[in-house]
């Protein structure tokens, strides 16, 4: 018999920002990036170093903390995307405003 979810567990299960990957998946992603950048180590040294540090952080961070941080990163990302679009002088939002007021 399947465990009955609490209201909060159910709502969390519907949240698209929840991390469904496991630590090993995140580490594999880091390794893929490092592998790609390693084709030109000299030009990509700072990226390789940064990703190695991120990979170390993922390894040291407990799973529940990773899930909380992931949700926050995604929330911040979408907010920054929106703020960036608003700040763009000749971007799509400006053109949409012109069309809407035309």
Instruction: Kindly list the distances between the CA atom of residue 56 and the CA atoms of 36, 45, 66, 91, in Å, as whole numbers in the listed order.
Output: 18, 17, 13, 38
> Is 68 part of any domain?
yes
**What's the domain range around 32?**
21-61
Residue 56 lies in a domain: yes
Write down the pTM of the prediction: 0.64
Domains held by the chain: number = 2
Is residue 79 located within the same domain as residue 101? yes
pLDDT digits 0-9 by tens, 9-31? 776 776 766 767 788 999 999 99
Angle separating helix axes 23-37 and 41-60, nearest 10 degrees? 170
With respect to residue 26, please indicate whether it lies within any of the assigned structural domains.
Answer: yes
Q: What is the pLDDT of residues 61-101, one digit of tens each?
A: 998 898 888 888 878 888 888 888 878 877 777 777 677 66
User: 33 lies in a domain?
Assistant: yes
């Amino acid at each position: 018999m399947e465990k009955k979810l609490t209201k909060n567990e159910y709502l969390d299960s519907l949240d698209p920002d929840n991390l469904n990957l496991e630590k090993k998946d995140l580490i594999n992603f880091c390794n893929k990036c490092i592998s790609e950048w390693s084709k030109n180590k000299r030009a990509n040294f700072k990226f390789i170093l940064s990703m190695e540090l991120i990979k170390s952080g993922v390894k040291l961070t407990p799973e529940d903390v990773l899930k909380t941080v992931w949700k926050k990163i995604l929330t911040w990302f979408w907010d920054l995307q929106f703020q960036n679009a608003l700040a763009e002088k000749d971007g799509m939002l400006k053109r949409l405003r012109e069309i809407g007021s035309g």
